[in-house]
Amino acid sequence: MKGIVFTDFLELVEEKYGLEMVDDIINQSMLNSGGAYTSIGTYEFSEMLQLISNLSLNTSVSVDDLLMIFAEHFFKTLIKSHPNLVQHYKSPMDLLASIENHIHLEVQKIYPDAQLPTFELILHEENKMIMIYKSDKALYILGKGLMEETFKLFGEHAIIEFEKLKEDGTEVKFTIVKTS
């Protein structure tokens, strides 16, 4: 997993819960990196799981809720760092429809060894979209949060529902219906 995810996550933890919490979750985790991350480095996904699980234990906030909070923060970081990725899209539906064929290609140019989920577009209409998310990381809740932030960026609203196609969350069907 790319270091930018770790650095941004720890920044969020510091902002919301303080530097002591950052130290606590690092110390409670068994991290091969020792908890020292750079945005361009690559780290084991298991380290992120440990950090977020320990944050959940320390705050009594569910991992899913923490992933939604992180999605909001991470989306802002991505837009601030790479505004060119989204600036030529006219709608959130068009942006989401381009994840595989544009957004992820651009991300791969910036982070060549990034391990990204795939989003297979099943249906793309003006007000409805169906996508299949696939990733061995099973971070579909983070994906849902990033989708919600995409609609916020455009000042629009949608109902985003998901159905696990595999119980472990490595394959999930998203149905997105634009409401405004």
Same domain, 106 and 151: yes
Same domain, 101 and 171: yes
Is the pLDDT reported for residue 35 higher than 90?
Answer: yes
Same domain, 52 and 122: no
Structure tokens at 151: 């609609």
| Domain housing 146 | 87-178
* Number of domains within the chain: 2
Q: What is the pLDDT of residues 139-162, one digit of tens each?
A: 999 999 999 999 999 999 999 999
The answer to whether position 166 is within a domain reads: yes
DSSP conformational letter for 103 = I
Q: What is the pLDDT of residues 70-124, one digit of tens each?
A: 999 999 998 898 888 788 889 999 999 999 888 888 878 877 888 889 999 999 9
How much helix, strand and coil, in percent to the nearest 5, is found in the chain? Answer: 50, 15, 30
Same domain, 54 and 96: no
Same domain, 92 and 41: no
The answer to whether position 79 is within a domain reads: no
The answer to whether position 140 is within a domain reads: yes
Q: What is the pLDDT of residues 125-142, one digit of tens each?
A: 999 999 999 999 999 999
Task: Tell me the C-alpha distance between 75 and 73, whole Å.
Answer: 6
This prediction has a pTM of 0.92
Same domain, 101 and 145: yes
Same domain, 91 and 36: no
Same domain, 53 and 130: no
Same domain, 48 and 130: no
Task: Tell me the C-alpha distance between 127 and 71, whole Å.
Answer: 23
Distances (CA, A) of 140 to 67, 117, 143, 166: 9, 9, 5, 12
What crossing angle do the helices spanning 45-59 and 19-28 adopt, rounded to 10°? 120
pLDDT at 8: 95
Same domain, 95 and 132: yes
Same domain, 50 and 98: no
Same domain, 92 and 171: yes
The answer to whether position 78 is within a domain reads: no
Q: What is the pLDDT of residues 8-19, one digit of tens each?
A: 999 999 999 999
- Cβ(73)–Cβ(8) under 8 Å? yes
The answer to whether position 97 is within a domain reads: yes
